[in-house]
Amino acid sequence: MILVECFSDFVYGFISNRNIRIKDALKSFYKIIGYSWHILIGSFLTILLLNSGRFFLEFFSEDYEQLAIFGFYLRISGISLVLFQVFYTLYFKDFFTKSIKVLDSYFAFFLFFILLYSVVSFYFLPPILMLFSDFFSRTYPNNESIFYFLTFFAFFWTSYNLFSNIIVREGFMNRSNVYMLVVLLVFVVLGIALFNKMNALTFASIQLIIGILVVLSQLLLLRIKGFFFKRSLAVVVTASVFSICYLIYQ
């Protein structure tokens, strides 16, 4: 079905634009590729750092119960990402038309709301989930920290999605990819250093650290380029301090 749809789109596009000169079409194609290949690389790095946790944990560990715990808790923590999709849908146009000052106010308010939800969810979400999930009821008492780590990680994942739109809008993806490669190097070093101790808790803590570094690197890049998200930075730093303190004292 996908191949048929692609072929039909190709035929429709060819018929609709049959009067366009091949030379002009190629110039437009090269222009689009020159802009979008940085986004393609950035998307690949994002998948490696933020979207592939379960696959990496499977590489590090053959304990399938640990994999199940990590995957299940990650889905529970992903409510922040659902809220982001709602926010993004409502304010999509503003992301690409409003000034940085206005967007900073939007982002700061939304991120504060997500941070507040994350902290409050530590108290109200587990009792609710225990009513509906035997797996959660059985695993939560010994894996409470994983739930906390991944909930904070979801906050930073949401933050990354917000600021990525600004980086794409301003054409900073090539520089952003350099920062992401540095974070990827940190990710690899942590994975190697903790290889023998790898389990769901250890990997959740690594994911949280990577989430913090990715978002702070975005804000650093934007600041260097003259875009200072002052209010948003305050919320992100607050969340980072909470997360690091819990990492240290858990």
Q: Whole-prediction pTM value?
A: 0.79
Q: Minimal CA–CA distance to 128: which of 137, 138, 119?
A: 137
Where does the pLDDT of residue 7 fall: very low under 50, low under 70, confident under 90, or very high at 90 and above?
very low
Non-local (6+) Cβ contacts of 10 within 8 A are none
Q: For residue 91, what pLDDT is reported? A: 72
Structure confidence at residue 237 (pLDDT): 92
Distances (CA, A) of 34 to 47, 75, 199: 21, 36, 41
Find the mean pLDDT for residues 211-226: 89
Report the interhelical angle of 22-46 vs 173-193 (nearest 10°): 30
Least-confidence region, from 51-55, 135-139, 231-235: 51-55
- What size, in residues, is the chain? 250
The Cα–Cα gap between 35 and 16 comes to: 25
Span 222-235, average pLDDT: 88
2 phi-psi bin (left φ>0, alpha ψ -120 to 50, beta other): alpha
Q: Determine the longest span between alpha carbons in the chain, in angstroms.
A: 67
pLDDT in tens, 107-160: 888 889 888 888 888 888 888 888 888 888 888 888 888 888 888 888 898 888
In the predicted structure, residue 40 carries a pLDDT above the cut 80: no
> How far is Cα of residue 222 from the mean position of the Cα atoms in its chain?
17
The 10s digit of each residue's pLDDT in 78-116 is 777 778 777 777 776 777 677 888 888 888 888 898 888
* φ and ψ at residue 225, rounded to 5 degrees: -85, 5
| Residue 11 confidence class, pLDDT cut points 50, 70, 90 | very low
* Ramachandran angles phi, psi of 236, nearest 5°: -65, -40
Answer yes or no: is pLDDT of 9 > 50: no
Beta carbons within 10 angstroms of residue 17's beta carbon: 9
What is the rounded CA–CA span in Å between residue 53 and residue 153?
11
Determine contact, residues 206/187, Cβ cutoff 8 Å.
Answer: yes
Please write the tens of the pLDDT for every residue from 162-205: 888 888 888 787 888 888 888 888 888 887 787 777 777 888 88
